[in-house]
Amino acid sequence: MTKGWKTRTKLVHQGIRRSQYGEMAEAIFLTQGFAYPDAESAEARFVQAGADEFIYARYGNPTTRMFEERIAGLEGTEDAFATASGMAAVNGALVSGLKAGDHVVSARALFGSCLYILEDVLGRFGVNVTFVDGEDLEQWKAAVKPETKLVFFESMSNPTLQLVDIKSVAEIAHAVGALVVVDNVFATPIFSRAVEQGADVVIYSTTKHIDGQGRALGGVICGTREHIRKVVEPYMKHTGGSMSPMTAWMHLHGLATLDLRCRAMADGALKIAKALESHDKISKVIYPGLESHPQHALAMEQLGVGGTLVAFEVKGGKDAAFRFLNALEIACISNNLGDAKTIATHPATTTHQRLPQDQKDALGISPGLIRFSVGIEDADDLVADLMQALEEV
């Protein structure tokens, strides 16, 4: 029934399951279990559950299933598995497909918790991980070996917004039969076409743009039906990282407005990046939508826009950055992103505080750097807020 539907139609309707009451809003099935009409049905369902049959909420739930079908429709994958957080999705996507002795190649610029899984957890279970600079294709070529089972990267990195060329890295990985797993949070499922470009498995922290209103933690793993149901689902459902029906319900309503919100955020981000580019208290603006970004052409090819975040460096280091942050009147100081509310983050002292100085330097996380997640407020108001806060620097 969804054939030919465009994104915004899918986001409102795809995957809906209506009960006998014909409710308009998707129902929350706040139940861990399901009663069977008779013992024979229970036996049959444990052998092979039908598409509308559920056993236990850790395995699946009608509300969660609606969310999985809607996000798979958006992503353009056959199936998806919803998880309790973005990290449950990253962990599930990596661990479910790996065993001791396997080799993994990963981009170095990673969300702190992703780095913990790749550096610490996988190593303890005998998986070898080689790290590369994600934007350097020569390093990917040198690192991927015949025994490489999986490659992993964030398609747009946090907080310095470097892009990985999905198509080229997928070609390198697929030449040896490695699975391409992409953490696509910053790119968003609205702008990215990661699967078309060669990703096999795409992961989101749905805590970010998909919830979009700072309410619930969640995650999702998207891929082929075979991979999701045969590899990912057994691992997730038996290790306990499934999404709750309450979260799935909130995220279904988040999806309905996701396209509108992401486009408003990206329009605002471009306006803000342009306004900051020539400001005399700013030493650097990083926004893939600006022609000055070294990967502008790749961003346009891969995403068509610059995304919903802007990073910039306030002249004068930490003191100046803090004075700027404390003077903001609309933007909140916080560390989420993709929220309806604009959020300003000082990575060096918060999200990336634990990194040793040499790694901060290598990743470009300077004392003056601000990560700015643009919300859906009026962009002119946001620019005015930035300008008045910069006056305080």
Ligand X SMILES: *Cc1c(COP(=O)(O)O)cnc(C)c1O
Please report, as ranges, the residues that interact with ligand X according to CB under 6 A.
85-87, 90, 111, 113-114, 154, 158, 183, 185, 205, 207-208, 217, 219
Based on CB atoms, which residue is closest to ligand X, 156 or 348?
A: 156
CB of 268 to ligand X, least distance (A): 19
CB of 112 to ligand X, least distance (A): 9
User: Distance between CA atoms of 345 and 26, rounded to whole angstroms?
Assistant: 34
CB of 20 to ligand X, least distance (A): 35
CB of 184 to ligand X, least distance (A): 8
Based on CB atoms, which residue is closest to ligand X, 343 or 393?
A: 343
> Is there a contact between 226 and 96 (Cβ–Cβ < 8 Å)?
no
Say if strands 369-373 and 343-345 run parallel, antiparallel, or are unpaired: antiparallel
User: Nearest to residue 208, comparing CAs of 187, 229, 226, 194?
Assistant: 187
Angle subtended by helix axes 379-391 and 258-277, to nearest 10: 40
Based on CB atoms, which residue is closest to ligand X, 105 or 210?
A: 210
Cα-based angle 123, 84, 347 (whole degrees, multiple of 5): 65
Based on CB atoms, which residue is closest to ligand X, 34 or 116?
A: 116
User: Distance between CA atoms of 134 and 182, rounded to whole angstroms?
Assistant: 12
Based on CB atoms, which residue is closest to ligand X, 113 or 334?
A: 113
User: Distance between CA atoms of 32 and 59, rounded to whole angstroms?
Assistant: 10
> Is there a contact between 80 and 133 (Cβ–Cβ < 8 Å)?
no
CB of 135 to ligand X, least distance (A): 16
Residue with the CB atom nearest ligand X in the bound state: 86
CB of 309 to ligand X, least distance (A): 10
CB of 142 to ligand X, least distance (A): 25
> Is there a contact between 62 and 201 (Cβ–Cβ < 8 Å)?
no
CB of 90 to ligand X, least distance (A): 6
SS3 122: helix
CB of 203 to ligand X, least distance (A): 7
CB of 53 to ligand X, least distance (A): 29
Based on CB atoms, which residue is closest to ligand X, 339 or 385?
A: 339
Based on CB atoms, which residue is closest to ligand X, 365 or 390?
A: 365
User: Distance between CA atoms of 330 and 107, rounded to whole angstroms?
Assistant: 34
Based on CB atoms, which residue is closest to ligand X, 96 or 390?
A: 96
Based on CB atoms, which residue is closest to ligand X, 14 or 205?
A: 205
- Is residue 226 left, alpha or beta, with left meaning phi > 0 and alpha meaning psi from -120 to 50? alpha
User: Nearest to residue 85, comparing CAs of 210, 238, 260, 261?
Assistant: 210
Based on CB atoms, which residue is closest to ligand X, 179 or 390?
A: 179
User: Distance between CA atoms of 313 and 139, rounded to whole angstroms?
Assistant: 28
User: Distance between CA atoms of 104 and 126, rounded to whole angstroms?
Assistant: 11
Question: In sequence order, what DSSP letters do the residues of 63-114 get, joined into one string?
Answer: HHHHHHHHHHHHHT-SEEEEESSHHHHHHHHHHTT--TT-EEEEES---HHH
Cα-based angle 153, 157, 374 (whole degrees, multiple of 5): 140
Helices (H), 219-283: 225-227, 233-239, 245-256, 258-277
